[in-house]
A and B are shown apart, each in its own frame.
Chain A
């Protein structure tokens, strides 16, 4: 390959130094600039690792193209042979050479066609396999990254990475690779042929590559910048687009359309500029390279013709040389196209590599342990927070030190004001985060030592945001346990009181939530989320404000289900509605990351502490 491979887009140079923690909240942070740092060389390493498993096919496909080009390049040679040998031989009655030319030409044409067919299909397979691999890697990696990451990275950027950025790699692989191999092939073969036909003309041709090379380097430097900007710009366009669509109700209700148009125009214009810049760089390259090429052709023809005229060169050789010369520089435009796709792909790959370089903060263990088997009739598990400290990487300590034991089967309500650390406690138990110090133990096993599947059989969390995925209601419930039978799904829905509304939907459980009549209210969505959790049947259930949109009958149904279907499970319930607390065996009051009160509900209500105060206020609110 050419020097094209060695240059990374210029943006990498003004990114933060490698090794800097990715999730810093400081000003100029890489998230806002959409420039997550990737270690040096990561982009190339990524490309290499994508192609490595396919290298056999890459070679074969490359060979096909080499052969195809050879067949194509034979044309002018046959012309030279026909004029220099065919004509005199034919004149003297020898039809042999001409027949050979005829057969040779036909063979080359058909051969070139077949090889071309095989190459196009082969290279499409390679590129599609690479894309499949890359898309899968992006998706799997993103899924492994923590919730905190996604809150900052946004779905729009991830979409941009897995669509437009992947697409630009495809251009490189499908068209670019062919261009590149074609270009190198023509340059090499034609130079060799020219050197062989006439060393003098050949040398001039080879010399002309020097200024061309310099031009290529210049173009790369300048276009790289434009492409990196373009990739960032399109990502922010997508982010804005997605955000508007997902918030279309408030957008329209608050008449944000015009304001949004203006904001979008700014982002869109930034993309338009960089897009235009990239195309202008290409225009400059084309002018420069054509100038060099055409001047070289004129010089070589002059010299060749001069020598024919003075009798030191055969006319046929000049004819062939002239034909080849025209072809020598034909691929210059194609080289430009290759550079274009290369720079664009490099900018995109850089962004992808930055994403893939993010290390999951809660990695799955390589050496998983099993939880002890549950004894019959005791489906809960013991939860222990052992000296747990938690602070966000952005700074700000949330839990200074937490020691807590929840015996198997106990229902614990956690109350406290916003920012007291309730949700953090829940997320640590669900292993959305790992503690900075200390351990979270499930029946004595550190959560970090559990395989994901085992962990989710143990702990399931239902949150306030009851998101539904595209698909049917049944599929959404079955997220809790993908192998559940329709009967089991229905039983879970019945247990939570969701069966009635689901059977009222146009297609019942098979109603697509994104289609006709599939509109489901926030309260109903929370019921579906609960049905999901019931179906998962975990040993430990965490409810993080999971009943906020339910009405009182809905809340009762949930409490009932916890009393019956989930009886004996360990439960951690975070709720500001103290009605939920009534079913708890134990109440924890948290403040600034510490447990300030801990006891049975009745005991605390009777006391004079914070919970007693909260409870009084709540009772008053009911009056």
Chain B
């Protein structure tokens, strides 16, 4: 996926993982205690062979049945302690680690919600989702095992070697021999593995995106009978993921085999040497048993280093992926209430507004070049323009879903750039072209438009939007809609979105083609009711057809990135050829001459081009 930043900066795994510290800090006491407990438990495991040695060399060799009882008692006590400590370690971290995972996820969600819309346009949602799920699960597992056990096992190995050297230093040296080659091999492995791990994680993100799109676009897939080619695309991606996973497995298999074999060979050498020393009488049999027992007890700590390192690598790349999103700056908000007036002009004023998408080529023409428009208080301005002329973009600038590149927009004389977003968005209410409903009840969906609005307001908003159909829904206003609820028709969704926009009686209203999906009868009724709301509101309405334009007092024509004409519908029909062309279904006389007007329009269309 070229989308996700793939530059592999040479950040070390350790440095990446250190970024987890703020999340780990609150639970550091428990985590450290757990590590300490684990070290203790591990060391107890190392003491057990010593007790065995004492038993073999002492009571057993001395044929003292009574002493044997004492040894067994020690063993039992040590065993009970070990069991308790093992459990204690897990108990200490179980809830806190689930908490770390949850708080990282909540932070990601919180951050993601506050990132600019432009960010979401760029990032496939699958990549964000996989960061919030599989990556975070991996990090929890990393904190639970590899982190603790890299430390515990290193300590165990260290203590183990102290015991080994204490028992027979010459044999200890033999065991130490493979350490140097292993360290070199491990670091080689780490570099390669981290690249593969990152690749696999990104590919999971891509796979997630395809799955999501296959559901969101299911009607198209079915309508064109394309589920085979979709399945093929999915298959190709999963095969690629499989390939990367197999590369990871090959690397892991290699390092693991080496980590197992080299120390084992050393133990074999120690066994032979030790046997010779016992035969020579330089070493007691008990010591040799204890030595080998200790060495074998160290086997797991050593062997495990392979997959612990692998998991740490994967966690490091998962951390990188997580912080890639977290490092994207949230939009800064003006501090204070930003009530500094910049002009005395009331209403909604666009002054020299220029806009270019932040990721667009700086050399390309801006979407909006220089928009100057004054919407007087209480006035409704229709915004008309050809498909793709930037009408929707312009409306997105008002609630600051995108930021103007140059120029300014003022509301009652106040520059929106200086306003805190929540306040701005309270002042300005929007109905989007695509009416999105959330998984909540009908009532909740509408009331999202205004915090603290009551039953009364809700009823009023629904009646403005002519959304009486809600009372016929299975549970009326309490019917669940949205992705996880009843699916409504486009017209029904649009009416609810409209109700949501007007419920808070906002001072400023931005409606993007609010009647497009309504049938004629409903459209007429909504228009009548909406007109009353608009009479008291300063509003911009994106319009594609005369019926919507009729809601407005004046019309602005957006063309070539600027407002090329402003006037009433009738004025523009007379003076602007482009406007007449855009509205051509309903020229002068309008009614009655449907098909002939259409033909005229087609002819005109030909000439305008």
Contact = CB atoms under 8 A, between A and B. Distances in A.
B412 interface: no
B364 interface: yes
Nearest to B293: A323
Scoring B213, B490, B497 by chain A CB atoms within 10 A of each residue's CB, the highest score goes to B490
Main DSSP-derived SS at the B contact region:
helix
A158 B211 contact: yes
Nearest to A616: B591
A305 B144 CA distance: 39
Contact of B231 (A90, A143, A164, A253): A143
Contacts of A549: 433, 513, 516, 544
A578 interface: yes
Interface stretch (A214-222, A349-357, A551-559): A551-559
A128 B285 CA distance: 48
A602 B127 CA distance: 54
B585 A622 contact: yes
B605 A418 contact: no
A598 to B, nearest CB: 19
B256 A120 contact: yes
Interface string A164-176: 1001000000100
A536 B224 CA distance: 8
Contact of A116 (B221, B227, B260): B260
Nearest to B110: A261
A545 B516 CA distance: 10
Given A283-B87, A455-B225, A551-B545, A116 B257 contact: yes
A550 B544 contact: yes
A429 to B, nearest CB: 11
Given A243-B439, A622-B547, A479 B219 contact: no
Contact of A283 (B80, B94, B134, B296): B94
A508 to B, nearest CB: 13
Given A25-B474, A249-B396, A305-B60, 10 more contacts: A124-B253, A139-B234, A156-B483, A162-B211, A276-B97, A301-B52, A417-B519, A465-B490, A506-B364, A553-B581
Nearest to A151: B487
B216 interface: yes
B279 A90 contact: yes
A617 B94 contact: no
Contact of B230 (A25, A143, A582): A143
Interface residues of B, number: 199
B127 to A, nearest CB: 10
Interface stretch (A5-13, A45-53, A54-62, A264-272): A264-272
Contact of A272 (B90, B101, B297, B489): B101
B454 interface: no
B114 interface: yes
Interface in A138-153: 139-140, 142-144, 147, 150-153
Scoring A98, A254, A506 by chain B CB atoms within 10 A of each residue's CB, the highest score goes to A254
A4 B393 CA distance: 58
A254 B222 contact: no
B349 interface: no
B449 A254 contact: yes
A112 B387 contact: no
B540 interface: no
B601 to A, nearest CB: 6
Nearest to B264: A109
A213 interface: no
Contacts of B517: 464, 545, 548, 576
Given A83-B288, A117-B254, A275-B101, A154 B208 contact: no
Interface in B584-602: 584-586, 590-592, 594-595, 598, 601-602
Given A164-B137, A301-B71, A582-B595, A79 B271 contact: yes
Contacts of B208: 159, 162-163
B332 interface: no
Contacts of B218: 143, 147, 150
Contacts of B221: 143
5 contacts: A86-B275, A116-B260, A163-B134, A293-B79, A549-B433
A299 interface: yes
Contacts of A555: 585
Interface in A312-352: 315, 318-319, 322-323, 326-327, 330, 333
B83 A238 contact: no
A553 B105 contact: no
A294 interface: yes
Scoring A78, A234, A482, A621 by chain B CB atoms within 10 A of each residue's CB, the highest score goes to A621
Given A164-B134, A315-B285, A532-B224, A286 B90 contact: yes
A167 to B, nearest CB: 6
Contacts of A188: none
A265 B108 CA distance: 12
Contacts of B392: 521-522
B113 A622 contact: no
Given A295-B76, A322-B293, A506-B361, A131 B242 contact: yes
Given A264-B106, A280-B94, A283-B94, A255 B426 contact: yes
Interface string A564-590: 000000000000111100100000000
Contacts of A244: 109, 112-113
Interface residues of A, number: 192
A80 to B, nearest CB: 10
A125 B288 CA distance: 42
Interface stretch (B23-31, B159-167, B403-411, B520-528): B520-528
Nearest to B300: A330
Contacts of B452: none
B174 interface: no
Q: Name the 5 nearest CB pairs between A and B, nearest first.
A: A294-B79, A456-B225, A124-B249, A287-B87, A113-B261
A614 B585 contact: no
Contact of B586 (A109, A163, A622): A622
Contacts of B228: 452
B215 interface: yes
A250 B257 CA distance: 54
Interface string B411-446: 000000000011001101110111010110000000
Main DSSP-derived SS at the A contact region:
helix
A167 B208 CA distance: 12
Interface stretch (B118-126, B190-198, B314-322, B457-465): B118-126
A98 B222 CA distance: 73
Interface in A395-431: 415, 417-419, 423, 430
Contacts of B98: 272-273, 275-276, 279
A583 to B, nearest CB: 9
A298 B51 CA distance: 11
Contact of A128 (B75, B245, B519): B245
B535 interface: no
A305 B387 contact: no
Contacts of B605: 553, 556
A453 interface: yes
A194 interface: no
Contact of B271 (A78, A119, A319): A78
Interface string B243-260: 001101110111011101
A131 B245 CA distance: 11
A544 to B, nearest CB: 9
B290 to A, nearest CB: 10
B448 to A, nearest CB: 5
Contact of A514 (B122, B254, B388, B545): B122
Contact of A257 (B114, B520, B524): B114
Contacts of B388: 501, 504, 520-521, 523-524
B432 A249 contact: yes
B332 to A, nearest CB: 15
B112 A245 contact: yes
Contacts of B78: 294
A623 B601 contact: no
A186 to B, nearest CB: 12
B90 A279 contact: yes
